[in-house]
Structure 1
Amino acid sequence: MRKEVIGLGALNYDVLYVVERIAKGGEEVGIIDVKKAPGGSAANTIVALARLGVDTGFVGTVGNDEEGKWILEDLMEEGVETRIKKREGYTGAAVAFVDARGERALYILPGVNDRLCIEDVDREFVNHTKILHTSSFVNREQLEMQRELAKRIHNKTKLSFSPGMLCFKYELDDLTELIERSEVVFISADELKSLVKKEDYERGTELLLDAGARIVCVTLGGKGCYVADSSTGESHLIDAYPTDVVDTTGAGDAFAAGFLFALLRDKSLYESGKTGNLVASFCIREYGGRKGLPYKKFIPATLQKGARKQKINYRHRLTQINTDDKNQHDKTKINLRKSV
C-alpha cells in the first residue's frame, strides 16, 4: 500500500538541558533540569504527521545500543513503519541547552548517521509514497546520498526538503539539485539568509523558487511564516498563533508536518501555512521536539481561530511595485515569473 509521507534523515537521541540562560564564553551557568527524548528533524516531522493520522514511514540508521532500541520502539509506538538499518557503533545524539525564553544552543554528534548510504535505502519503499521528506545530515557523504536518491526516486514521488544546518555549511549551488527536485522547501529565516546571502526573506524566497522549488515556506519564529508558490504566483505572510513559548526545539519540524498534512488534504497554500503555524504552536508549549505535538482531534476546532491573513505582494527583483496604485497592495496572487 502506498504511504502518504516517508521520512529520510538523521535519528538522534536528544538530551535537553534547561538552563538559567545560554552561557557566554568562559561563563558558568546553572542547569535547572535535564530531559531526554528521541529526535532528528525529519523523524520529528514524521511523528507529527503520524499523530495527525497520516500514513507514514521512515528510513534511517541507529547504533546497536540502548538509545537506538529506544528510538525504534518510539517510532513503532507512534505508528510509523520503519526501514531502519542497525549497525555497530553509537546512535546519533543531539545535546541542547534551552533557557527561560525558549532560546537554545544545539550540538550534534552524528554517530552512525554519518554511515547511512544509498544501499541502506529500500528503493521500493520510498517509491511507494506520495511525498519523501528529507532533512539535513552532518557530513557531506549523506548530502551526496540525498542528491543521488532524488535522481532515482519515481517521478510520481514528490520531494519535501528541509535543509536545516546545511544552509550554514554550503552554498546555494551545492543544494540546487535537491531544491529543483523539491515540491516544497522548508527553511527558517536565519537559514535562508545564510544560504542566499540576502537579508530580505522575500528576495531569498524568490531565489529558491528560481532554483526550481515549487513551494517555499520560510518560518519566521514569533512572526509566523511566509509561503510562496511559483506555479500560481501566490504568496502569503501568515501570523503565528499566540502561545506561551517554552522551547523552540522542533518548531520548524512541526510546521513542516502541519503544512504537509494540509497539502495532502488539498488545502490552499494559505490554509497549509496556517496549519503549519498551528502545529508549531503546540510543539513550542513543551520541552523537546515531540512532547507537545498535537493529535488530529485538536486540529479542526483550533483552525477556526488564531492566525490572521495578511495580504502582501511578492516583489520580483526586476519589477518595481507601483506605490501609487493602492489596489496593488491588496493582491495576494500575482505572477512570480514576470517577463523582463
Structure 2
Amino acid sequence: MNKKIMVLGSINVDTTYHVQRFPQPGETIAAGSKSSAPGGKGANQAVAAARSGAQTSFIGMVGADNEGKFMREALQEDHIDTRFVGIDELHGTGTALVTLDSNGQNDIMVYGGANQAMTTDVLNGTSEAFEGVDFLISQFETPQPVTAEAFRIAKEHGVTTILNPAPAHDILPEVLKYTDVIAPNDSESYGLTGIKITDEDSMLKTAEWFKQKGINYLLITLGSKGAFYSTPKAHGLVPAFKVKAVDTTAAGDTFIGALASQLDNDLSNVADALVYAQRASSLTVQKMGAMPSIPTGEEVKAALAK
C-alpha cells in the first residue's frame, strides 16, 4: 500500500546562474545562462515522495504573489494536497539564488520570506489531517517552533517523524524530543555533534550521541561515499551510485522524500529503502534544476533494474 506522507517545510522559487567557476570576493564574472524552477527543501522532498508513489500533503506558506501561485500549482501538478499551504499577505514567497559551476557544484543564497515568517498558526485545523499519516518530514528552512508543534501533534496520532536538519542549526530541545529519525549529511552532523565523520568509529559515536538525545534512528548521507545508517538492531554503510553530476541541487531532498516513500512503518527495511533513495538521488544530479530533476518511481526502479 502506498505510504501517506506529510511534509512541513519551505517553498522557494529557485533562480540559477550558470557559470564556469565561482567568483572570487570582489570579482564580477559573466553567467552563461539563467534559469528558474520551483524548489525549496520542503517542496522538493514532497515532490520526491509523491513521484515515488506516496500520497503526499504539504504544510507551508507562500506570499500573496505570482511566485506563490506558481508554487502552489507546481505542487498540485504532482497531486500534492496543498490545503494547508497558507498565504502570507505581508511577506513574499521564498526565493533561492543558485550559482552553478561547470562541475555541477552549487552555492545557494536563500531569502526565507513567507517560509521564515511562518508561525504555529499554520497548524490550525491540521490535526485531523494527521490521521493515517505514516511519516511527517521537516527541515530547517522554516522556524523550529513550528516543527516542534507539528511533531508533537504527529506523535499524538502515532506518526513517525523524520527530521532533516538542513541547513545546519542548533536544534531546539523540543524538536529533538519528538524526533524519531534524524537524517543529516556529514557536515550537518559534525555541526550538530562536534564529531567529525572520518570512519565507522566516528559514525557509531555520532549514533550514540543522538541516542543520548533520545533519537534511535540515524541516517547520514556521505556524498560519493554513500549513506550510513544506525538503528537499535543494526548499522551499516550503503554505497552510492557512481554518476557524473550535472547539478547537485535537490539531491539531498530527493534522497529524503524517496526514502520516506519506501520505508516500512517499523523502519525494519532501512537498508533497502536507502538503496532506493540513493538511486533516486543519483538520477536527480544528472539533470538541471531542483524540482524538474526529481525522478519518478518508475525511473528509479528502471535504473535499479540495470
User: TM over 0.5: same fold?
Assistant: yes
Change in CA separation of 1:225 and 1:3 when aligned onto 2, cut-off 3 Å = closer
> Quick one: percent identity of the two aligned structures?
26
Aligned to 1:76: 76
**CA contact 2:41–2:141 (8 Å) conserved in 1:** no
Deviations 1:263-315 (Å, cap 9, x if unpaired)? 1487622111111111100111112222221112123343345xxxxxxxxxx
- Residue 136 of structure 2 aligns with an amino acid whose one-letter code is L
Deviations 1:179-216 (Å, cap 9, x if unpaired)? 34223211110111111111135022331233222321
Unaligned segments of structure 1, at least 5 residues: 306-340
Aligned to 2:53: 53
Give how far 1:238 is off. Answer: 1.4
- Residue 159 of structure 1 aligns with an amino acid whose one-letter code is T
Aligned to 1:324: none
Give how far 1:38 is off. Answer: 1.2
Indicate yes or no: 2:52 matched with 1:87: no
Indicate yes or no: 2:190 matched with 1:193: yes
Indicate yes or no: 2:116 matched with 1:114: yes
| The one of 208, 211, 216 aligned to 2:210 | 208
| TM-score between the two structures when normalised by the length of structure 2 | 0.90
Higher relative contact order (CA 8 A, sep 6+): 2
- Residue 282 of structure 1 aligns with an amino acid whose one-letter code is L
Aligned to 1:147: 148
Unaligned segments of structure 2, at least 5 residues: none
Segment drifting more, 260-269 vs 41-50: 260-269
Distance in 1, matches of 2:80 and 2:65, equals: 20
Change in CA separation of 1:49 and 1:149 when aligned onto 2, cut-off 3 Å = closer
Give how far 1:28 is off. Answer: 2.3
Residue 303 of structure 1: SS of its match in structure 2? helix
Matches within 5 A, 1:215-226: 215-226=217-228
- Residue 194 of structure 2 aligns with an amino acid whose one-letter code is K
**CA contact 2:3–2:262 (8 Å) conserved in 1:** no
Q: Could you say which structure has the larger radius of gyration?
A: 1
Distance in 2, matches of 1:22 and 1:120, equals: 38
Aligned to 2:284: 283
**CA contact 2:93–2:113 (8 Å) conserved in 1:** yes
Matches within 5 A, 1:242-261: 242-261=242-261
| TM-score between the two structures when normalised by the length of structure 1 | 0.81
Aligned to 1:132: 136
Residue 180 of structure 2: SS of its match in structure 1? strand
Distance in 1, matches of 2:26 and 2:130, equals: 47
**CA contact 1:17–1:31 (8 Å) conserved in 2:** yes
